[in-house]
Every structure is written in structure tokens, then in C-alpha cells.
């Protein structure tokens, strides 16, 4: 909020002639209201987000969503799990483990091709290489093109090959298959009014038109070889009475290149209320049965995947039934890459014959979300404007009377569309309208006396409402899609384990903690270290990720760093259960840790210096311009590295000191890291905001700050005698990402 001008600045303004006379109280009120609204706009536009480094930029989704593609693996098409559940790691990209999505529009843009989303992916297996063909929407031309990527490690990492097929019309749904040792692609080209078959000249980069199969605007079409015939299934939007999702048409032929004969039952309707007949991926054969993938019902792009078992497929008869099909999906809403919907799946068996691989698209927001946000935002702006004008009239800062000269006829000549009588008639009507508006203005003008206590209360309340509405409106316009998304490194995403230590007196803290942080995008699971009392039942903790309660034998702060072989990620976020911060804060810290996995990445910096060392707070560190320690009550670390150091033989004396003071376990870990390195071992990430919930519960260990700091200074003295000094001071704002200011 802007402060009032200093007296010296005001005098200088008078000297420069900028202030001609003392402003009235009314003017002060008007200026204050304007400043509050402007401050709200600035604050809302900035939000609580920090700038993203260039390496983490993301393409802006359009009205159709923010689609991306993820990889799933399983022993069968009906037991697919996201790739992160398989624990596959890649040091190149700092992904331990690799997590979905594996292909995004940002990856396509990094390859030099503008993209606002990627969707409808198809796989093509060739030896050890797996190719992915998908639709990418060009935000410049507003049409879909076909792009490709290749993986040499069973779908874990993907190299972008760029756009491989671009026509003058929209393309999507790049169904790729082989016929007589040649590779063909049949993309959707309904905007051109036909369905076309392309043949690869230089796979996968160059294609040429082989044949126009049908002069019909088919969408989401596939060709399958089944029981000695080739079958083409698609949705024909040109048919009379056709609906976008509820019918398909079938043709059959001796080969993909031969004439196609329509099925006797076309159009084939799906009579189920929640079923969709439109294709949603490649049909597959499993245990001798043919299965067709369909789009889930729920709008233009669907909300899920359905699988149908084809029981009869003949030239005069077709019958299928839906079968159960469930894919493990994150329940994190907009924070999950596929939290809102998926509408496409291609699943194939890997050449080894042991695993099946599936590729699915997903979106975190529904269609039209960005337009919806803009509409609401501008509507709120309109309400703010009207409310500001009415308030100005009520307190008399705005003249409520319109000048009648606006309705007087002009005397100059006009070439005109109207004759004199028509012009005077219009002027008369306008004069009547202005008179009526002036009567209304006279009723409200100056009705609130801002000089009285009651009037000032009215003004303050209205100003607060204006600020709140402006913040909300600006958030809808500039706040994005409301998701707190993860930050990729070299196009790769990963996950971490959240670990907290608590006991029975802080159960209410724990419940809020688990419910909030389980929805953060990169949190794989939560480990609760239970130090004392009766642990809660699993049903008491509301979480969308697995929660494991590890009950300890004794109440010790050393338990925080106990070696735990059941932790499935390399990164652990140690976070006290009484600290609440945004998911975006966690995601930023996780990104910094992935860039520096050998360091402790924390949110609370400290600088301990002097002789003997003295424990000081963050304010002191900022006054001195740097830090050499971070609190591990909110810090990322490599649990294999950190926990091993903490339980090493050299740390035994330090652990005894921790038990004797029931304090300082975080200081000990900082010393152990510093003792093993000559360079910086800590990194600071500034949280947008953080709330210490222990202030409301009265169960904090460090209620008496002065006594707490005194104990920690004793720990510093003892640890420095055993392990030497901490590393040199690390300066704020030295990393270059703008997150350590």
C-alpha cells in the first residue's frame, strides 16, 4: 500500500509548482481510494508467484486446454500404471524418478515449433525405438499439425523431431500403422471434407499423400486388420442427424488401399446414457479378443477413457460391450497434468513381450476455461467501475449532473442522414434522458457525509470491497488457470517424498498438513514420523497420495533423519507439520534441489558467525547480506546422502547432544554437510508466504524465542569444536533465478 508523501517531498513539490493549493479532504479520500485500487491491481497481477527462469518457461494454453502426454506401463492393457510408479530414474534431467507428463507443448516449442498443446498421441514401435506421433496446435495459425518424438529407453525420455506433417487445413489423430512393410499415417482431416492416407517416404520425417480413402469428413478414424478383413471405424459428421460422440460408421475392405464398402448398420448408435461411441485411440487385441477404445462422455473432448469388447464384427452386424477399465490417476485437480480429463489412449505390447506401454493425453483444465476466467474477470471489473462511480456520487466527489448542452442541437450544416425534424426529435429525447439522469443523480449525490464517523465507515467498507473485487477480477484475468504446476528440468518432471515429524498433541496440525500438501503436484507420498502418543488411524488423515505412519520407539528429534528403505524417491522434503505454505513454494524448492542435489535446499536462512558462534534469526542474516545455514524443518535433501551422514559414526556425539538439549538436529545436519565439502552446501528459496500454525496451538517447541536461541547457540559452540566451522557466507540473490532474494 502506498504511503503518504514525506513533508520534504511535499515542500519540494510546492517549490516546483506541482502543488498549487492544499487539497481538500474530499480529494484526499478520492486519491486514497484510487491508490488502494491501483495497489490491489499491482498486487493481484504480481500474485504470490515468483518469476520463472527461462529454462522453466511454459507455453500458454488456449481455450481448448493445456493438453500434454504421459506414459503408462503394465503387465497387461488393463493394469497400466504411470511411469513414476515404476521408479525409473534419469540423472540427465535430475529425475529420480521420472514422472509424467513426458511430452508437453513446451518440449515442442524448445524444438523450434510453436505449440499451445499436444494431444491424441499414437505409438509406433520399430526395433528398440518407440516413436510418438501427436497433434500439436500452432497458436499462430490456430490449426493442428502432426509432430513426432522418439524414445530409445522404453518411453522414459523423448527426443523431439518437430512437425512432420503440415497441411493447409487442421490435422489431428495421427493413426500410424504398417501394411506390406510400408508405414502409413491416416490423420483426421475433416476440415478438408475427406479422410486421407499418407505413406512415409523418409520415416518418420517425410510423408506424401497416397490416396483419399473417403470423401467424408470423418473424425478419429482407425483401420484394423481383423478376421481376414480390414475395417475402418470413424465418426461421420456429415451424416444426417449425426452426433459428435454417440455414433460411429464402419467400412470394410480387402486392404487399406482398396475401395471401402459401408457397413449395413451405419450409423451405429450407442444407446447407453454415459457411453460414447467415438474412437479414443487404437483398438488392441488381448487374449484373442478385440477391444476398442472410446472417448468418455462429457463435452466436446470428453472426460475419460472407455474400453469396449467387440463381440461381433461382420459386414452386416456389429456388437460391443463396455468392460471395466481403470487407470491409476492422480486426484490432485488442476495441480495434476491430467486432473481434469483425458480423451485418448494408445496401448501396445513391447517387443520383449513382458510389458505393455500406453500413451495417454491429459489436461488439467476443462475446455473454455481461459475464456471463462476472462469473462468473469472483466465482469468483476465492470462491477468495480460502477461501484466506484456510485460511491463517488454518494460522497460528492463526482458531479452527478450531466450538462444540458450535450443535448443542444448543433447549428453547423450536416450532410445528413436525418432531416431537421428528425434531428430536433432526437435532441428532445436526449434532453429528456439527461434530465432524468440528473434527477437520479440529485437523489444520490452527496447522500453520504464523509466528515461524520458513520460516513467514514461507509467509505472505508466500500473501499475495501473495491480492493477485494479488484484483486479477484485481476486474479481471474492474469492469474492463469489456477494450477500450481511443477517445474521441469530439461523437459523432465519428477517427484519427492514429504516427511514430517509429530506427536499426538499436534494431530489437528497434521490433518491440515496432509490434506493441503497431498494435492501438490510433485508429492508422491507422505511419511509421518510419529514420536509420541497414540498414532491416528489411516482414515483420520484426508489425503490424495499414500500416507505412511512410522511409529518410533522413543521420542527423539534424531528420528527425523532415520534411514528409511521404504522411501521410493531420492528427494525428501523435511517439513514441520505446523508450517503451511503454497504448493508453488514447494515446487520451486524442488526445482532448485534438482539443480543442486548434493545440497540442503531450505526456506529459512540463518547466519551463524562470531567467536564463539552465535545463533541469529533471518533478519540478522539479511542485514549481513548472506547465510551459511538453513533450517531443516522446511528443506529438501537427498535422503540417502543426508540420512547416511546423520547416522554415521562421526555424528554419534552430535546426536547425543541433540538428545540432551532436545534441540539442534537441523544444526547438526548443516555441520555434517559443511564438514564434507569446501563449497556451499546450502541454498535458500524464499517462500511467497508461510504460516507457523504452532502460534495458534501453543504446542511449539520454541515458544520462548530467547531461551530457544540460547540453547541453539550452545549447540553451535559444541558442534564447531567437534566438526569445525560452517561454510562461507552465501549471498542472497546470487543464484540468478530470482528465488533467493
Q: How far apart are CA 596 and CA 571, in angstroms?
A: 11
**3-state SS assignment for residue 549:** strand
Is residue 8 situated within a structural domain?
no
**Per-residue confidence (pLDDT) for residue 625, from 0 to 100:** 94
Closest listed residue to residue 197, CA positions, set 180, 207, 185, 206? 185
Query: Does 260 lie in the same domain as 121?
Result: yes
**Per-residue confidence (pLDDT) for residue 300, from 0 to 100:** 41
Q: How far apart are CA 632 and CA 663, in angstroms?
A: 12
Of the residues 343, 367, 391, the one at which a domain ends: 367
- Of 107, 638, 666, 740, the catalytic one is 666
Centre a 10 Å sphere on the Cβ of residue 79 and count the other Cβ atoms it contains.
13
Closest listed residue to residue 204, CA positions, set 158, 241, 249? 158
Is residue 422 situated within a structural domain?
no
Q: How far apart are CA 603 and CA 734, in angstroms?
A: 15
- How many folded domains does the chain comprise? 3
* pLDDT mean by block of 10 residues, the chain; 741 residues: 39 35 47 50 46 55 82 96 94 90 94 94 96 96 96 95 96 97 96 96 97 94 95 83 68 96 84 68 96 74 79 93 89 90 94 93 76 80 84 62 56 54 70 66 60 78 87 75 85 96 89 95 97 90 95 96 97 95 96 96 94 91 95 97 96 97 96 85 94 68 79 95 88 92 92
Burial 585-620 (b: 16+ CB within 10 A, else e): bbbbbbbbbbbbbebbbbbbbbbbbeeebbbbeeee
**Per-residue confidence (pLDDT) for residue 692, from 0 to 100:** 83
The gap between the terminal CA atoms of the chain, to the nearest Å, is: 21
Looking at residue 169, the DSSP 8-state letter turns out to be S
Query: Does 202 lie in the same domain as 233?
Result: yes
Cell digits of residue 47: 500474485
Looking at residue 482, the DSSP 8-state letter turns out to be S
Q: What's the predicted TM-score (pTM) here?
A: 0.82
**666 a catalytic residue:** yes
**CATH number, domain at 612?**
3.90.550.10
Contacts of 50 (CB under 8 A, 6+ apart): 588, 686, 688, 738, 739
* Torsion angle (degrees, nearest 10) of CA 540, 543, 545, 547: -30
Query: Phi first, then psi: what are they for 376, rounded to 5°?
Result: -65, -40
Closest listed residue to residue 364, CA positions, set 137, 521, 494, 220? 521
Is residue 306 situated within a structural domain?
yes
Query: Does 31 lie in the same domain as 98?
Result: no
Looking at residue 301, the DSSP 8-state letter turns out to be S
**3-state SS assignment for residue 737:** coil
| Rounded to 5°, angle at Cα 420 from 415 and 423 | 90
Query: Does 227 lie in the same domain as 343?
Result: yes
Of the residues 475, 491, 507, the one at which a domain ends: 491
Q: How far apart are CA 392 and CA 26, in angstroms?
A: 10
Query: Does 358 lie in the same domain as 286?
Result: yes
Query: Does 504 lie in the same domain as 485?
Result: no
- What region, left, alpha or beta, does residue 299 occupy, with left being phi > 0 and alpha being psi -120 to 50 degrees? left
Q: How far apart are CA 344 and CA 118, in angstroms?
A: 12
Is residue 713 situated within a structural domain?
yes
**3-state SS assignment for residue 119:** strand
Number of Cα atoms under 13 Å in the Cβ half of residue 242: 21
* Torsion angle (degrees, nearest 10) of CA 664, 670, 673, 678: -140
Omega before 417 cis (within 30°)? no
Is residue 244 situated within a structural domain?
yes
Q: How far apart are CA 612 and CA 716, in angstroms?
A: 8
Please check whether residue 483 is in contact with residue 365, taking contact to mean a CB–CB distance below 8 angstroms: yes
Please check whether residue 584 is in contact with residue 484, taking contact to mean a CB–CB distance below 8 angstroms: yes
| Rounded to 5°, angle at Cα 179 from 247 and 252 | 35
What strands, in cross-sheet order, belong to the sheet with 345-349? 81-82, 68-74, 356-362, 345-349
Name residue, grid cell 567467536: 611
Please check whether residue 276 is in contact with residue 300, taking contact to mean a CB–CB distance below 8 angstroms: no
Omega before 101 cis (within 30°)? yes
Query: Does 483 lie in the same domain as 589?
Result: no
Of the residues 367, 395, 425, the one at which a domain ends: 367
Could you tell me the residue range of the domain that residue 459 belongs to?
26-48+58-63+368-403+434-491
Query: Does 175 lie in the same domain as 91?
Result: yes
Closest listed residue to residue 554, CA positions, set 537, 529, 575? 529
Query: Does 331 lie in the same domain as 294?
Result: yes
Query: Does 517 lie in the same domain as 603?
Result: yes
Cell digits of residue 162: 518437430
From residue 582, give the alpha-carbon distance in Å to each of 513, 554, 588, 596: 11, 32, 10, 22
**Per-residue confidence (pLDDT) for residue 20, from 0 to 100:** 40
Q: How far apart are CA 198 and CA 267, in angstroms?
A: 26
E strand spans, 23-141: 68-74, 81-82, 118-126, 129-138
- Please name every residue paired with 489 in a beta bridge, in sequence order, or none if there are none: 492
Helices 25-46 & 453-478 angle (0-180, nearest 10): 30
Cell digits of residue 261: 464398402
Is residue 413 situated within a structural domain?
no
Q: How far apart are CA 95 and CA 494, in angstroms?
A: 5
SS3 content of the chain, % helix, strand, coil (to 5): 30, 30, 40
| Rounded to 5°, angle at Cα 229 from 226 and 233 | 70
Helix residue spans in 479-519 (DSSP H): 507-517
Please check whether residue 187 is in contact with residue 146, taking contact to mean a CB–CB distance below 8 angstroms: yes
Query: Does 278 lie in the same domain as 142?
Result: yes
Query: Per this entry, what is the length of the chain?
Result: 741
DSSP character string of 11-59 = HHHHHTT---SPPPHHHHHHHHHHHHHHHHHHHHHHTTPPPPPGGG--P
H helices then E strands: how many in the chain?
14, 34
Please check whether residue 155 is in contact with residue 349, taking contact to mean a CB–CB distance below 8 angstroms: no
- Please name every residue paired with 262 in a beta bridge, in sequence order, or none if there are none: 251
From residue 740, give the alpha-carbon distance in Å to each of 383, 584, 605, 690, 735: 38, 15, 10, 15, 7
DSSP character string of 434-460 = HHHHHHHHHHHTT-S-TTSHHHHHHHH
Closest listed residue to residue 495, CA positions, set 549, 592, 572, 574? 572
Closest listed residue to residue 520, CA positions, set 487, 486, 549? 486
Residue 128 CB-density burial (10 A; 0-12 exposed, 13-18 middle, 19+ buried): exposed
**CATH number, domain at 346?**
2.115.10.20
Query: Does 290 lie in the same domain as 223?
Result: yes
Is residue 706 situated within a structural domain?
yes
Is residue 409 situated within a structural domain?
no
Q: How far apart are CA 503 and CA 479, in angstroms?
A: 38
Amino acid at each position: 500500500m502506498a504511503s503518504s508523501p514525506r513533508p520534504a517531498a511535499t515542500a519540494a513539490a510546492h517549490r516546483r509548482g506541482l502543488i498549487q493549493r492544499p487539497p481538500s479532504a474530499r480529494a484526499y479520500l478520492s486519491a486514497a481510494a484510487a491508490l488502494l485500487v491501483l495497489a490491489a491491481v499491482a498486487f493481484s497481477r504480481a500474485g504470490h508467484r515468483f518469476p520463472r527462469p527461462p529454462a522453466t518457461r511454459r507455453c500458454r494454453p488456449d481455450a481448448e486446454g493445456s493438453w500434454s502426454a504421459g506414459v503408462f506401463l503394465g503387465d497387461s492393457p488393463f493394469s497400466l500404471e504411470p511411469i513414476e510408479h515404476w521408479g525409473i530414474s534419469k540423472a540427465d534431467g535430475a529425475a529420480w524418478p521420472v514422472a509424467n507428463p513426458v511430452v508437453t507443448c513446451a518440449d515442442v516449442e524448445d524444438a523450434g515449433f510453436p505449440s499451445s498443446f499436444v494431444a491424441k498421441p499414437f505409438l509406433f514401435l520399430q526395433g528398440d525405438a518407440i516413436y510418438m506421433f501427436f497433434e500439436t496446435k500452432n497458436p499462430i495459425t490456430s490449426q493442428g499439425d502432426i509432430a513426432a518424438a522418439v524414445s530409445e529407453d522404453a518411453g522414459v525420455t523423448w527426443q523431439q523431431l518437430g512437425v512432420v506433417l503440415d497441411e493447409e487445413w487442421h490435422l489431428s489423430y495421427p493413426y500410424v500403422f504398417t501394411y506390406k512393410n510400408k508405414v502409413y499415417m491416416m490423420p483426421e482431416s475433416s476440415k478438408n471434407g475427406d479422410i486421407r492416407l499418407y505413406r512415409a517416404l523418409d520415416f518418420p520425417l517425410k510423408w506424401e499423400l497416397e490416396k483419399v480413402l473417403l470423401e467424408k469428413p470423418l473424425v478419429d478414424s482407425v483401420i484394423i486388420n481383423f478376421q481376414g478383413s480390414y475395417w475402418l471405424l470413424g465418426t461421420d459428421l456429415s451424416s444426417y442427424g449425426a452426433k459428435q460422440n454417440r455414433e460411429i460408421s464402419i467400412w470394410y475392405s480387402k486392404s487399406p488401399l482398396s475401395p471401402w464398402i459401408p457397413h449395413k448398420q451405419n450409423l451405429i448408435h450407442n444407446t447407453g446414457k454415459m457411453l460414447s461411441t467415438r474412437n479414443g485411440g487404437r483398438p488392441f487385441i488381448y487374449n484373442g479378443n478385440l477391444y476398442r477404445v472410446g472417448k468418455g462422455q462429457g463435452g466436446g473432448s470428453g472426460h475419460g477413457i472407455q474400453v469396449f469388447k467387440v463381440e461381433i464384427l461382420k459386414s452386416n452386424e456389429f456388437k460391443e460391450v463396455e468392460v471395466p477399465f481403470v487407470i491409476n490417476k492422480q486426484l490432485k485437480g488442476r495441480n495434476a497434468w491430467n486432473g481434469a480429463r483425458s480423451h485418448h489412449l494408445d496401448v501396445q505390447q513391447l517387443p520383449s513381450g513382458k510389458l505393455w506401454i500406453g500413451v495417454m493425453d491429459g489436461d488439467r483444465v476443462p475446455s473454455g476455461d481461459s475464456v471463462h476466467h476472462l469473462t468473469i474477470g472483466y465482469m468483476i471489473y465492470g462491477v468495480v467501475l460502477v461501484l466506484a462511480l456510485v460511491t463517488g456520487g454518494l460522497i460528492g466527489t463526482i458531479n452527478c449532473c450531466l450538462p444540458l448542452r450535450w443535448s443542444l442541437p448543433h447549428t453547423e450544416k450536416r450532410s445528413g442522414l436525418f432531416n431537421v425534424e428528425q434531428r430536433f426529435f432526437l435532441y428532445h429525447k436526449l434532453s429528456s434522458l439527461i434530465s432524468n439522469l440528473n434527477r437520479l443523480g440529485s437523489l444520490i449525490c452527496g447522500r453520504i457525509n464523509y466528515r461524520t464517523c458513520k460516513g467514514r465507515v461507509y467509505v472505508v467498507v466500500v473501499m475495501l470491497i473495491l480492493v477485494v473485487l479488484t484483486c479477484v477480477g485481476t486474479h481471474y484475468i492474469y492469474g492463469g488457470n489456477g494450477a500450481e504446476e511443477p517445474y521441469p528440468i530439461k523437459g523432465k518432471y519428477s517427484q519427492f517424498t514429504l516427511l514430517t515429524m509429530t506427536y499426538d498433541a499436534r494431530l489437528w496440525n497434521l490433518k491440515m498438513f496432509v490434506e493441503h500438501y497431498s494435492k501438490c503436484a510433485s508429492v508422491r507420498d507422505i511419511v509421518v514420523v510419529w514420536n509420541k502418543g497414540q498414532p491416528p488411524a489411516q482414515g483420520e488423515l484426508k489425503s490424495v497420495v499414500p500416507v505412511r505412519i512410522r511409529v518410533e520407539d522413543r521420542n527423539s528429534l534424531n528420528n527425523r533423519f532415520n534411514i528409511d528403505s521404504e522411501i521410493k524417491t531420492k528427494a525428501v522434503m523435511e517439513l514441520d507439520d505446523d508450517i503451511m505454505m503454497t504448493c508453488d513454494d514447494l515446487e520451486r524448492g524442488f526445482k532448485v534441489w534438482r539443480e543442486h542435489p548434493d545440497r540442503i535446499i531450505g526456506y529459512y536462512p540463518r547466519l551463524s558467525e562470531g567467536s564463539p558462534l552465535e545463533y541469529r534469526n533471518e533478519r540478522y542474516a539479511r542485514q549481513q547480506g548472506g547465510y551459511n545455514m538453513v533450517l531443516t524443518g522446511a528443506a529438501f535433501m537427498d535422503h540417502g546422502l543426508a540420512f547416511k551422514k546423520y547416522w554415521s559414526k562421526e555424528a554419534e556425539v552430535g546426536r547425543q547432544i541433540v538428545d540432551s538439549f532436545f534441540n539442534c538436529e537441523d544444526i547438526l545436519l548443516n555441520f555434517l554437510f559443511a564438514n564434507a565439502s569446501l563449497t556451499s552446501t546450502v541454498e535458500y528459496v524464499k517462500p511467497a508466504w508461510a504460516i507457523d500454525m504452532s502460534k495458534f496451538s501453543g504446542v511449539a517447541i520454541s515458544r520462548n524465542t530467547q531461551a530457544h536461541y540460547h540453547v541453539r547457540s550452545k549447540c553451535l559452540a559444541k558442534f564447531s569444536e567437534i566438526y569445525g566451522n560452517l561454510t562461507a557466507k552465501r549471498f542472497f540473490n546470487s543464484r540468478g533465478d530470482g528465488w533467493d532474494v
